[in-house]
Amino acid sequence: MIADTSHPVPFPAGQDDVDPDIRRFQQAIEGGYAAHAGGPEKTVAERRRVAERVRAPWRAGGPVMARTEALRAGGTGIGVRIHRPSLEPGLPVLIYIHGGGWVLFSLDTHDRLMREYAARSKAVVVGVDYTRSPEAKFPQAIDEIVAVVEWLRADGDSLGLDPARIAVAGDSVGANMSVAVNLRLRQRGVGVLAAMLLNYGAFDHRETPSHARYGGPAYMLNSAEMVAFWAAYLRGPDDYADPLAVPLRAHLTGLPPAFLCIAQCDILADENRQMAGRLRAAGVPVEEHVYPGATHSFLEAVSISPLADRALTEASDWLAQRLGAAR
């Protein structure tokens, strides 16, 4: 299924192309960062602390879980946060991989999103606290998430989960790694996951027309930020050609069905459309939704945005259908 897939068209001078509620979210985020501006270049640790403070109001509220627990995945030491929408045994699982350019954000910044997916899809959401860059370089984070998949497949029954019904989701670089995890599983011959939910993913480092169109200060992400994020994540020039790092370059045959949530007013819009087309050409079932007026990160605005609410509902309905979850 394809919805709202027309390419962006020029807007009349002076007309804002961003949804009004998403504009309020974008301005609040920008204002929060501006309040912490000044001084010399911040360290990575300082940037993370600021990001946590700025994002804090947007993770508040939302669905209440039947139980939330923090565990270590088997013997790996990888932290996970498990949100259970009910205590019913044998529920399907959604592994969630948070965005933030491989460098910023955390399970805390994305806690509300994970709870929203759990409540709406009736799946247990397992957020992965992967090691961020630049401390961890490609492909460490991918292999950590694969280790969580292996743990859930081996021990899911003992956790009251269904190890045969596991999907993966992520936003921005989390969407990148959602595809990469399935590529790694396919590479190892152990079977891909049941579904992929890909929110405004970073699938290629090359600039496209949407970078020029939506890379200005009126939007949520710019090309210079993405260049810095890629450089922090990758080990060196050779990694820019590695399909595991740059999924748009990968052979995509045999990957699981995918739902792509594409923000129209996002520098990554073009590569998301390309990924949808590449998956479809590879024979992968694809549902592609382009949300007019949405910026990068718009799902975080669900507390004030009917557009984000609709996008979360549409993705969750698709996910529940793919996982066979009771609604």
The catalytic residue positions are 172, 266, 296
Cα dihedral 19, 22, 24, 28, rounded to 10, equals -150
232 to 37, 103, 159: CA distances (angstroms)? 22, 7, 35
Instruction: Please report the DSSP string for 17-57 in residue order.
Output: -S-HHHHHHHHHHHHHHHHT--SSPPPHHHHHHHHHHHHHH
Structure tokens at 270: 């073009």
Closest CA to 284 of 323, 319, 255, 324: 255
Closest CA to 310 of 93, 3, 25: 3
Structure tokens at 180: 């990469």
Structure tokens at 83: 């949100």
